[in-house]
Amino acid sequence: MRFDLIVVGGGHAGVEAAAAACRLGKETLLITHNLDTIGVLSCNPAIGGIGKGHLVREIAALDGVMGKAADAAAIQGRVLNRRKGPAVQAPRIQADRQTYAKTIREILDTYKNLHLLQDTVLELIIEGEMCVGVKGRISGCIHSEGVVMTTGTFLDGRIHVGNVKHDGGRAGDPSSIALSASLREFNLPIGRLKTGTPPRLDKRSLDTDKLSIQYGEDPRPKFVRFDRRSLQLPEVPCMITYTTPATHEIIENALEMSPMYSGAISSSGPRYCPSIEDKIVRFSDRDSHQIFLEPEGLDSLEVYPNGISTGLPFDVQLAIIRSCPGMQAARIVRPGYAIEYDFVDPRCLRKTLETEMIKRLFLAGQINGTTGYEEAAGQGLIAGVNAALAISGCESWVPDRDTAYIGVMIDDLVTDGVTEPYRMFTSRAEHRLKLRSDNAELRLTRRGYELGLVSEQLWDAYRQYESELDSRRRWLKETRIYPNRLDERQKKKLGAGLKRDMTLYELLKRPDIDYANLLCVIGSEADGEVDRVGEQLKIEALYEGYVEREEHDNKRHKKYADVLIPIELDFDSIDGLSNEVKEKLRRLRPATIGEASAISGVTPAAISILLIHMKSKG
Ligand code: FAD
């Protein structure tokens, strides 16, 4: 058998990689352990959130798969950070697990050049310095022009529940032991990481009267902007409970039975998605932690208690659950577990996600030390695109740090590597005012179309949107409004009044004026109706000054790149720097302003504060 490209693994990275390569016209083989687990959500049934939602919006802007499946499978959704500025807002949805995986499969089935094969890959076929295929357990040698490996938590995966250990890539799935050994043979730098998941509960065993309910937003937010389908699944709300002092006592008394504390697991887990054991130890002053009881689906009787991932023994898991309000009689249907697995140090990768030592071998997803469906999908897309471009002999494409969160993630991974599972946060992006969830299409769709990634349908919808934006922006900038020509109704609508004549665009920059107000003020036909173009222009007007300032600061800082930062400087004493920036500066101790600016998440604004502080100290 021979294909242009082979993608190993049908998780979130593999799906996006295979779909992207197909969109670029490559005959692609997706080979995975079990065709029924393509697109499976291994952990929580939710997609998006701060940083992660930005990634999904970017994937959608490049016509990727994740956003489409998430919209189709959503049973609840919210825009997180609603009270904060648009730059840090992002959608998050709860998904019906089965619909999500089913939709992924339906989308993949639309690609005529995608071939699926259920088999276990045992090793890579390398000729000279080039990866030219894989060897499947049943299918034998399969040749190709390139390979994308997206094996997630499966490489030499070992599952722990208390002192019960067994090989496994995820509950119910095998570990990839032979493939891991094959990678070691080719001298890829391999390390070990861990993650964990909570037990799943039988919904019928919960006392819902003792739980608070959280509904999603109406209308439900979507990841795909130009999808006009109105069909959506009915809502299923989340429920909320919390740990109690009794829970904490149970965990403290059982700590030595946790694989992370008994020494059975020594690798690092995700600091920002800690196990309940870690939370109790690290935040010992807190006597309660919130637990979101997330629905697993429309017809599912299972509930996912988000916030209590654990590797403790089964009986301790049950005691923990039963010590929380509303769960005194709860039944566990799937035990929680911790999993340790091999990853490849991403510093051995180029930005295209091709390995430095083996040509045409691309790695994407959790294999590169990340955690999360969205992070995996973003990398999968980039690996799939660049594998296809390399096969065609075309120039590679990777978005820069100031173009996309995907670019930030890839630059972070290949430059800094990981010491714990890498997760996306808005604080990692120094250009976050520009990299907003609302403008993902404006940043990426044109380039995606030039590459051949974006369908004609999406491109047409995008162009219509872009031209509507341009013409309305022009109109707003050319239309002036004068204080002495306002009638009483207009004055009332304007609230804070108008001190001088100005363009409608300038007026839109005022925080108290949204697009609906603006239309009311001028008595426009579409009185009060805010559409997406209007919303986009409002955000653009609001951020324009800040983004310009950010770019100006960037240029200015380049002049100061060689300025030395005093060794004795106490970053913690600098007012105005966020705790995250202080922590990074303290840990990495940059010698110059140039080095400080190159640290992921250290924004131009933070550099300005640092410079002002240094100047004030002479
Ligand atoms: P996966 O989704 O793991 O897919 C890997 C695919 O490769 C599978 O289809 C597998 O069958 C296939 N495969 C592997 N080896 C072979 C082989 N040799 N031959 C053929 N096929 C193979 N994310 C979070 O954001 N927060 C969390 O709290 C969180 N907790 C997690 C807890 C657990 C226990 C697990 C397992 C995962 C957790 N995740 C969490 C991570 C999330 O599930 C992954 O980040 C995401 O699924 C990674 O996507 P991926 O495509 O890289 O790999």
pLDDT in tens, 428-437: 888 889 999 9
- The domain segmentation of the chain, as residue ranges, is 2-194+341-449, 200-339, 469-544, 561-617
Alpha carbon separation from 242 to 108, 338, 564 (Å, rounded):
40, 21, 48
CA of 12 to the centre of ligand 1 (A): 8
Count helices and strands (H / E) in the chain.
Answer: 20, 22
Give the residue carrying structure tokens 């807002």: 89
Task: Report the nearest-CA residue for atom 24 of ligand 1.
Answer: 372
Q: With 90 as the cut, is the pLDDT of residue 238 above it? A: yes
pLDDT digits (tens, 9 = 90+) for 147-163: 999 999 999 999 999 99
pLDDT value of position 528: 41
Q: In the predicted model, what is the mean pLDDT of residues 436-446?
A: 96
* Residues of the binding site for FAD: 9-14, 121, 176, 366
pLDDT digits (tens, 9 = 90+) for 71-100: 999 999 999 998 888 888 999 999 999 999
* Residues of the binding site for NAD(+): 269-283
Task: Report the nearest-CA residue for atom 2 of ligand 1.
Answer: 11
Q: In the predicted model, what is the mean pLDDT of residues 178-196?
A: 94
Strands (E), 38-82: 46-48, 74-80
CA of 48 to the centre of ligand 1 (A): 16
Q: Which of 16, 33, 276 is the pocket-test mutation for ligand 1 (most atoms within 8 Å of CB)? A: 33
Beta bridge partners of 144: 3
- What is the fold of 561-617? DNA polymerase; domain 1 (1.10.150)
Taking the CA of residue 421 as reference, the ligand 1 atom at the shortest distance is 45
Termini Cα distance of the chain: 70
pLDDT value of position 492: 76
Q: Are 5 and 146 in contact (CB under 8 A)?
A: yes
Q: What does CATH list as the number for 469-544?
A: 1.10.10.1800
pLDDT digits (tens, 9 = 90+) for 308-365: 999 999 999 999 999 999 999 999 999 999 999 999 999 999 999 999 999 999 999 9
pLDDT digits (tens, 9 = 90+) for 531-548: 788 989 999 999 998 888
Pick the CATH number of 200-339 from 2.160.10.10, 2.40.30.260, 3.40.50.1100, 3.40.640.10: 2.40.30.260
Helix, strand or coil, per DSSP, at residue 123: strand
Bond into 219 cis (ω within 30):
yes
Give the residue carrying structure tokens 């820069």: 400
Q: Which of 108, 195, 374 is the pocket-test mutation for ligand 1 (most atoms within 8 Å of CB)? A: 195
> What percent of the chain is predicted at pLDDT more than 70?
98
Judge residue 547's burial from the number of C-beta atoms within 10 Å of its C-beta, 0-12 exposed, 13-18 middle, 19 or more buried.
middle
Helix, strand or coil, per DSSP, at residue 332: strand
Taking the CA of residue 170 as reference, the ligand 1 atom at the shortest distance is 36
Best CA proximity match to 13, nearest among 297, 353, 294: 353
Alpha carbon separation from 505 to 205, 513, 534, 589 (Å, rounded):
56, 11, 11, 43
CA of 367 to the centre of ligand 1 (A): 9
Q: Whole-structure pTM over 0.80, yes or no?
A: yes
The whole-angstrom separation of Cα 30 and Cα 594 is 43
SS3 per-residue string spanning 70-132 = HHHHEEEEEEECCCCCHHHCEEEEEECHHHHHHHHHHHHHCCCCEEEEECCEEEEEEECCEEE
Run of H or E residues at 241:
strand 238-242
Q: Which of 120, 366, 382 is the pocket-test mutation for ligand 1 (most atoms within 8 Å of CB)? A: 366
pLDDT digits (tens, 9 = 90+) for 48-71: 999 999 999 999 999 999 999 999
Q: Which of 30, 31, 36, 43 is the pocket-test mutation for ligand 1 (most atoms within 8 Å of CB)? A: 43
CA of 11 to the centre of ligand 1 (A): 6
CA of 260 to the centre of ligand 1 (A): 20
> Which has the higher per-residue pLDDT, 93 or 577?
93
**Tokens for 384?**
């799939």
CA of 408 to the centre of ligand 1 (A): 22
Maximum Cα interatomic distance, the chain, rounded to a whole number of Å: 82
Other CB atoms within a 10 A radius of the CB of residue 411 amount to: 18
The DSSP secondary structure of 239-297, one letter per residue, reads EEEE--HHHHHHHHHHGGGSHHHHSS--SB--TTS--HHHHHHHTTT-S--EEEEEE--
pLDDT digits (tens, 9 = 90+) for 373-405: 999 999 999 999 999 999 999 999 999 999 999
Q: Are 244 and 324 in contact (CB under 8 A)?
A: yes
**Tokens for 47?**
């997609």
Q: Are 584 and 601 in contact (CB under 8 A)?
A: yes
The sheet with strand 200-202 has its strands ordered as 212-214, 238-242, 290-295, 302-306, 200-202, 332-334
Other CB atoms within a 10 A radius of the CB of residue 319 amount to: 18
Sign of the Cα torsion 359, 361, 362, 363 reads: negative
Best CA proximity match to 373, nearest among 35, 162, 73: 73
Judge residue 457's burial from the number of C-beta atoms within 10 Å of its C-beta, 0-12 exposed, 13-18 middle, 19 or more buried.
exposed
Which homologous superfamily does the CATH classification assign to the domain defined by 2-194+341-449? FAD/NAD(P)-binding domain (3.50.50.60)
Taking the CA of residue 38 as reference, the ligand 1 atom at the shortest distance is 9
**Residues whose beta carbon lies within 6 Å of some atom of ligand 1:** 8-14, 31-33, 37, 42-43, 120-121, 150-154, 169-170, 173, 176, 179, 195-197, 273, 339, 365-366, 371-373, 376
Task: Report the nearest-CA residue for atom 10 of ligand 1.
Answer: 9
293 Cα distance to chain centroid:
21
Q: Which of 373, 374, 381, 382 is the pocket-test mutation for ligand 1 (most atoms within 8 Å of CB)? A: 373
Task: Report the nearest-CA residue for atom 47 of ligand 1.
Answer: 373
pLDDT value of position 506: 92
Taking the CA of residue 179 as reference, the ligand 1 atom at the shortest distance is 18
Q: Residues in the chain, how many? A: 618
The whole-angstrom separation of Cα 538 and Cα 331 is 49
Q: Are 301 and 122 in contact (CB under 8 A)?
A: no
CA of 434 to the centre of ligand 1 (A): 31
The whole-angstrom separation of Cα 525 and Cα 475 is 15
Best CA proximity match to 151, nearest among 126, 114, 129, 181: 181
Taking the CA of residue 379 as reference, the ligand 1 atom at the shortest distance is 52
Other CB atoms within a 10 A radius of the CB of residue 408 amount to: 29
> Which has the higher per-residue pLDDT, 47 or 425?
47
Other CB atoms within a 10 A radius of the CB of residue 425 amount to: 20
